[in-house]
Amino acid sequence: MDQTIPSGHFLRHISDLAEKQEVLAHSPIHSAAGAMLVDSGERITSELYDDLKHHLLPSLEECLTVGDAVTATELAQAVEELLADEPAFASLMPDEAERQKVVRVFAAIPLSQPLAFKLTVAREERPEVLRHSLQVAYCAAALAHHSHLPPHEIVNAAAAGLFHDLGLLHIDPELLRGLRPLSEQERHYLYTHPLTAYLILERNPIWHPVVSTAVLEHHERIDGSGYPQGLTEAKLGSLGQLLAVAELAATVLSYGGDYASRDRLGIVLRMNEGKLNREHCSHLLAMFPPCSVPAAAFRTAGAALELLVDLSVALLRWQSIHKTLPASPLAKFVDKRMAQLGHSLADAGIDLEYWSAFHGGGELDGKSLGEMEVAAREAIWQLRAIASEVYRRWEHVAAGSGPIVAATREWLASVEVLGGETIKPAGRIAAAG
């Protein structure tokens, strides 16, 4: 792929890192025009930012070293700490011996100097990205191990999870907060982060094309609703499909607190039926032992019910808009996606008409309340994903005119902020779907 990796925000992270520890050029850095900007052995400083923010040859990470760089041994230790800090992830593999086999996989991941540098920048400047990547990597390796894949494929699964969000290091962190509607250009940056990660891995023969392609596909869905290419199952690789399931598992587990609920995960997977590989989902559920989730582990009744009411109002508002619009490809597309979401909610036992008219009263046990909260949280996230898909497929929506576009744009704007921070799970980009 002949494309350029955006460098501005990554360079800012490097500049910030250089203020805290020594970052050196181990080989000269030249501009695309051939002018030498930094000589071998020179220390990188924030004063060099303006000189380095243009297209460089070779890329920055290929020329820079940092003393305390991430190592494979450190990655294995970080996974151990993750399992100790977040028992929900440890519960994915209850058997200690089997769990240690997966942990040891991380110590065997070959790290080239450029990739070690990338991970070091993530560790120091974007720790939330590295932690989520380790969560996904562990889930991917555990799923591959449980599926009895050969050792080299388990290493590939761990590496795919570890590297899948490298593209986020090149994006303004503010875009990931999901606190406001994004411009068309900002959405484009988010949608292309898998491509950026692919281009990074493309330079590493050991990870290209198997792992790089899986990373490119980690936001694709088998029904074609994902991005960046909108591929369907027949065109997606097995590792990419496994990685998509692993990322969803990591999201659920990161909200698990001190426990992991097979029922909770089952609800989310059921809400994504038709979007994710069924075999990988079945293997994932089979890994969990049955467990009892205490009612206290769920949010308060008021907060959970608020999610349900907000969700039902948004869905019913679209139905009202759709009735007033003339037939159009855009309206038909949104209506189809909304119908699919409605069916998923019905399968999860949620009656939207009931919740749209809910005024309190009645009693719900903790388990039922928790199951509805999980389904509503996932449905609101999927609603945002539908909005993002509309923007990707119909670029004119953001700036177009006419009754169909105007009504749809108004509804999309309300969906983008639905649920606020409560619906932005770690690692699932709310604004990008």
Predicted pLDDT at 426 = 36
Amino acid, res. 89: F
* 428 token code pair: 């699932």
Per the structure, the count of domains in the chain is: 3
CA atoms within 13 A on the CB side of 303: 12
Q: Looking at the structure, do residues 61 and 76 belong to the same domain, yes or no? A: no
- What is the domain range of residue 49? 8-66
Quote the pLDDT of residue 216.
Answer: 98
Same domain, 347 and 277: no
Q: Please check whether residue 44 is in contact with residue 27, taking contact to mean a CB–CB distance below 8 angstroms.
A: no
249 and 318, same domain (yes or no): no
Looking at the fold, whether 189 and 259 belong to one and the same domain comes out as yes
Q: What is the pLDDT of residue 1?
A: 46
184 and 94, same domain (yes or no): yes
The CA distances from residue 227 to 34, 174, 353, 390, in Å, are 36, 21, 32, 12
Please state whether 50 falls in left (phi above 0), alpha (psi between -120 and 50) or beta. Answer: alpha
From edge to edge, which strands make up the β-sheet containing 56-57?
36-38, 29-31, 56-57
Do both 231 and 322 map to the same domain?
no
Contacts of 335 (CB under 8 A, 6+ apart): 318, 322
Instruction: Check whether residue 236 and residue 266 sit in a common domain.
Output: yes
Q: Is the preceding peptide bond at 127 cis, omega within 30 degrees of 0?
A: no
pLDDT digits (tens), the chain, 433 positions: 446 676 788 999 999 999 999 999 999 988 878 888 899 999 998 888 887 877 676 788 889 999 899 999 999 999 999 999 998 899 889 899 999 999 999 999 999 999 999 999 999 999 999 999 999 999 999 999 999 999 999 999 999 999 999 999 999 988 887 656 777 788 888 889 999 999 999 999 999 999 999 999 999 999 999 999 999 999 999 999 999 999 999 988 887 654 556 777 888 898 898 999 999 999 999 998 766 455 444 455 666 677 877 888 888 888 888 787 777 888 888 888 988 888 888 877 777 666 555 545 455 556 667 777 788 888 888 998 998 898 888 876 766 677 777 888 888 888 887 776 544 443 354 333 3
Please indicate, yes or no, if residue 224 is contained in any of the structural domains. yes
Domain boundary among 260, 287, 314: 287
Domain boundary among the residues 234, 256, 287 is at 287
Look at residue 428 and tell me if it is in a domain: no
Domain of 176, CATH number, reads 1.10.3210.10
pLDDT of 432: 38
Q: What's the pLDDT score for residue 193? A: 93
Residues 19, 112 within the same domain = no
Q: How far apart are CA 377 and CA 197, in angstroms?
A: 28
Residue 179: per-residue pLDDT: 58
Q: How far is CA 138 from each of CA 76, 123, 230, 428, rounded to the nearest angstrom?
A: 10, 17, 26, 17
**What b/e readout covers 281-306, taking b as 16+ CB neighbours within 10 angstroms?**
bebbeebbeeeebeeeebeeeeebbb
Q: Give the type of residue at 1.
A: M
